[in-house]
Amino acid sequence: MTRIAFVVSSAQEIDLRDSPGHPTGYWAEEALKSYERFVSAGADVVVITPDGRPPVADPYGLEPIFHYPDKDRDYFASVYRTFHHDPDDIRITLQHTTELELVASRRIAALLVGAGSSDQEAHQLVSLAAKTAWQENRKLVDVMVAEGLTGGLSEVALRAAVTELDEASSAVAKERKARLDAIPGFNNPVALSSLGEEDLAGFDAVFAPGGHGPMVDLHDNPDVGRLLAILHEKEAPIASLCHGPALLLSAPERHDGQWLFEGYRITSYTDDEEQQNHIGMLGMPWLLADALQNAGGIFDDAPYAWASHVVVDRNLITGQNPNSTEATADAVVKALALA
């Protein structure tokens, strides 16, 4: 059976400029979706932390704003793509999706259809209102009410749709946390420091999910370096997501003195994305994208922040952000020729 070393940070704190000892950990959505994808494909997934301590989900990553139901996220994507046809012109920030109620578009459109609008008419109306909200930094419902774009719906009904989304997102977050808590490996992981060369060589791939934790205990870790060197030598897939590529910085030098991944195309959480999230705003000790480039990687990010983006260069697989989770996991499954 194909064995994947699922390397997770066990860090619980990160020292930020404005918040020393800030809570951190792994990103719940990235870890859960990737783990379950690999298991469903038939792999033996071994959860590993540097020191054998159980990993902790980053509290920030468990907030409802990061757990919108897939249907709502997909519908919102179809809405904001009406703003511009050229992806280079689209700039959707984290603040747009978390504070302006834009992701409630699907639920409001469903109410409009229930009130007599066609699917197309409902989509056009919420798209028009969402574009104004996006351009003017206003909340979606406020725009619909003030601009007469309610489609006959009451303000109460519109605000109820937003509340419904918030409640659904909270339920998804709790359900994902419960599934993670039920995985034995997350409660009793293997200590990477305890594994010998033969143990490490027994893995067919390595994968590291994100969260800011990897920037604490995976970026400068000799044991991570041993694992990377052994798997790279056998050309096994080396995969990571979001802040997970921090583990690549632990890789040793090649025989020519260059970093093991010198000249490889790589992606990760970008500086732009870092500057938009709450933790990044508190002052990162260093920036991952910059560090990967300084080490010798060729950075390859999406045309705009928060887009799903995966880069595959030889045996190296990297994903840009949480929205890249499914695509990154699928790339690993493909590289391993699993189901």
193 and 171 in one domain?
no
| Torsion angle of C-alpha atoms 9, 4, 236, 269, degrees rounded to 10 | -40
- Domain assignment of residue 182, yes or no: no
* Distance, C-alpha 53 to centroid of its chain: 23
329 and 254 in one domain?
yes
pLDDT at position 86 is 65
For residues 154-166, average pLDDT: 98
271 and 211 in one domain?
yes
In Å, how far are 237, 247, 262, 289, 293 from 258, measured between CA atoms?
20, 17, 6, 18, 13
| pLDDT digit string, tens, across residues 313-334 | 999 999 999 999 999 999 999 9
Q: What is the CATH number of the domain that holds 275?
A: 3.40.50.880
pLDDT at position 304 is 84
Q: Which of 214, 224, 163, 219 is nearest to 191 (CA)?
A: 224
Q: Token digits for 170? A: 């909270």
193 and 160 in one domain?
no
- Domain assignment of residue 260, yes or no: yes
| Count of domains forming the chain | 2
The conformational region for residue 314 under phi > 0 = left, psi -120 to 50 = alpha, else beta, is left
The range of the structural domain enclosing residue 167 comes to: 65-176
Strand residue runs (E) in 8-139: 13-16, 19-23, 44-49
Residue where a domain terminates, one of 176, 211, 244: 176
pLDDT at position 157 is 98
164 and 201 in one domain?
no
- Domain assignment of residue 41, yes or no: yes
263 and 292 in one domain?
yes
For residues 278-295, average pLDDT: 97
Burial 114-147 (b: 16+ CB within 10 A, else e): eeebeeeebbbbbbbbbbbbbeeebbbbbbbbee
